[in-house]
Chains A and B, each alone.
Chain A
Amino acid sequence: DAKTTQPPSMDCAEGRAANLPCNHSTISGNEYVYWYRQIHSQGPQYIIHGLKNNETNEMASLIITEDRKSSTLILPHATLRDTAVYYCIVRVEKAAGNKLTFGGGTRVLVKP
């Protein structure tokens, strides 16, 4: 699976959009980009995923560049409860399973 690079931490203001970058320059054509988050001491929570096109759901938007070498997770209106570690994961489809490999993630602190 392709390696991802994320900033270790970032702050954002409550009510503002939070833009979380992720580099995955070695991504291959059949690899999806997934975003999960882990709020302190809780289990990881799925946010969104995509292959080529931009995606949006009730939690966030995912913007994938045309060359697919990077992506941005957008939390449109960050709240204090969005404080968490956010993980960008690139995963290839495998017949043997779809385990996710978590890196260091970005520790996001939403400030009032």
Chain B
Amino acid sequence: NAGVMQNPRHLVRRRGQEARLRCSPMKGHSHVYWYRQLPEEGLKFMVYLQKENIIDESGMPKERFSAEFPKEGPSILRIQQVVRGDSAAYFCASSPKSSGANVLTFGAGSRLTVL
């Protein structure tokens, strides 16, 4: 019973390139959440998705960042034209349903370094 799988675990990009981070939720989970953790800072919510729908993107930067969770395949967090300030750990979490006392299961994270 695999947990939340994130890849790549480490990604290095030069300024101006694109970064794509993937997240496969736990089996049976249809809700995905992305969080960002800047160096020496706390976890900040970015976006919450269900299959083919963005439910809450209140934490997403207005430009360059996008997320999707297609009907088939993993959720993707895409960062276009990366800048040094995008260097961070990006964590994905999943849950089985949207309400009630649900527990979020987190992945190990993807660490983006922008040179």
Contacts and interface: CB of A to CB of B under 8 A. Distances in A.
Query: Could you tell me the dominant secondary structure of chain B's interface residues?
Result: strand
Given A44-B91, A99-B48, A94 B99 contact: yes
B12 interface: no
Contacts of A44: 43, 91, 93, 104, 106
Interface in A90-111: 93-105
Interface of B: 4, 31, 33, 35, 42-45, 48, 55-56, 89, 91, 93, 95, 98-109
A45 interface: yes
Interface residues of A, number: 24
A104 B41 CA distance: 8
Nearest to A34: B103
Contacts of B35: 102
B42 A104 contact: yes
